[in-house]
Amino acid sequence: MIAINEIFVVAFALIGAFFSIVAALGLIRLPDIYTRAHAASKSATLGVMSILISVIIFFVTEEGLFSSRTFLGILFVLTTAPIGSHLIARAAYYSDVPLWKGSVQDDLSKNKEHVMPKKRVNRDN
Amino acid sequence: MPFQLMLNAFLAVLWMFLSNSFTTSSFIVGYLLGLIAMFAMRRGFSSRFYLGPVIALVRLSIRFLYELVVANIEVLAVILKPRLDIQPGIFAYETTLKKNWEITLLSMLITLTPGTLVVDISDDNKTLYIHALHMPEADEAVAAIRNSFEKAILEVSR
């Protein structure tokens, strides 16, 4: 007989591993850095989260101890992963990394004009 | 809102002293009784009764987890499809949110929801520049989702 908690542990671990593989495949397949940031931020977050959830369920049911550090790990991954990918995309954009074949580029036309002079001012100082 | 939380905890401690039993369960009983008393006296507070924002926050986080799963399935479909038929692009989005933490929360939610990634926030905190994975369908549907997110955040902070 397979207990129901084992089903949950295995399911969450498999889902997490699968989404991690998808994130890695996305890094290989997608064309430019911005679309890669999509794959890295979303799939990796959910992958790591469900692996950690499976760890929590396993230790609660098998050993009877609730590891609060794993729970904190989920919270930290959830809060820091989007900010990391946002900062990487932003740094890439302002170092003039080109988009793949973007159809609409508002940022390029409007905001860059008024950020670039500030950059120059900073360089002079 | 923090004042109401403090007041409720104070009322719970007061109940523990009145009933002379210093246990967790008597704290919880006192907290619930204090909640009822504060709900009866809610017109005396300058801000609104604090359970509303708390419930809105819980609903926002449930919504957020749901959107995270949907986003992953969407990215999965894009990556595993044999032909790469995406049309990425960056569009500007005007936000009505004012405070810094609201904008941070909104951009985190946008980054973890289907097909969008915040690239930049303008200096006056009014425009978010969002990279969309698939431009034609993302433009309107995502703006609708985003409006509901903004409404939910306003519900929390109002």
Residues B39 and B66 in one domain: no
Residues B7 and B82 in one domain: no
Binary contact (A22, B133; C-beta < 8 A): no
**Which residues of chain B are within 8 Å of residue A32 when distances are taken between CB atoms?**
88
Find the range with the poorest average confidence among A4-18, B81-95, B104-118.
B81-95
**Strand (E) or helix (H) holding B140:** helix B135-157
- Residue A110: the pLDDT is 60
Of all residues in chain B, the percent with pLDDT exceeding 70 is: 96
Residues B37 and B13 in one domain: yes
- Residue A123: the pLDDT is 46
Q: Number of A to B CB contacts under 8 A, please give it.
A: 112
Higher-scoring residue by pLDDT: A14, B44: A14
Probe site for chain A from B62, B75, B83, B86 (most A CB atoms < 10 A): B75
**Mean pLDDT confidence for B96-116:** 83
**Strand (E) or helix (H) holding B110:** helix B100-111
* pTM (two decimals): 0.77
- Residue A103: the pLDDT is 58
- Please give the full DSSP string across chain A, using - where no structure is assigned: ---HHHHHHHHHHHHHHHHHHHHHHHHHHSSSHHHHHHHHHHHHHHHHHHHHHHHHHHIIIII----HHHHHHHHHHHHHHHHHHHHHHHHHHHTTPPPSS-S-BHHHHTHHHHHHHHHHHHHH-
Residues B81 and B123 in one domain: yes
- Residue A125: the pLDDT is 40
Residues B97 and B136 in one domain: yes
- Residue A107: the pLDDT is 58
Domain that holds residue B15: 1-44
- Confidence check: pLDDT of B149 > 90: no
Q: How many domains does chain B have?
A: 2
Residues B65 and B92 in one domain: yes
Per the prediction, chain A carries an average pLDDT of 79
- Nearest CB to B79; choose among A25, A83, A85: A25
**Mean pLDDT confidence for B119-140:** 78
From the list B19, B79, B132, B53, the residue with the least C-alpha distance to A89 is B132
- Residue A120: the pLDDT is 46
Sequence letter at residue B44:
G
- Residue B48: the pLDDT is 78
**Mean pLDDT confidence for B79-89:** 77
Residues B97 and B56 in one domain: yes
Binary contact (A32, B80; C-beta < 8 A): no
Residues B89 and B150 in one domain: yes
- Residue B112: the pLDDT is 80
- Confidence check: pLDDT of A109 > 60: no
Binary contact (B88, A100; C-beta < 8 A): yes
Probe site for chain A from B83, B105, B120 (most A CB atoms < 10 A): B120
- Nearest CB to A99; choose among B75, B88, B123: B88
Residues B97 and B129 in one domain: yes
**Mean pLDDT confidence for B118-129:** 82
Using CA coordinates, name the residue in chain A closest to B79: A26
- Residue A41: the pLDDT is 84
- Residue B14: the pLDDT is 92
Contact call for residues B51 and B97 (beta carbons, < 8 A): no
- Residue A112: the pLDDT is 54
| B57-76 tens-digit pLDDT | 898 888 888 888 888 888 88
| A37-74 tens-digit pLDDT | 888 888 888 899 999 999 998 888 888 888 888 989 99
Residues B61 and B126 in one domain: yes
| B17-48 tens-digit pLDDT | 998 888 889 999 999 999 898 888 888 887 77
Residues B17 and B88 in one domain: no
- Confidence check: pLDDT of A124 > 60: no
- B51 part of contact set with chain A, CB < 8 Å: no
- Residue A106: the pLDDT is 57
- Confidence check: pLDDT of A118 > 60: no
Cα-based angle B151, B90, A33 (whole degrees, multiple of 5): 115
Residues B39 and B56 in one domain: no
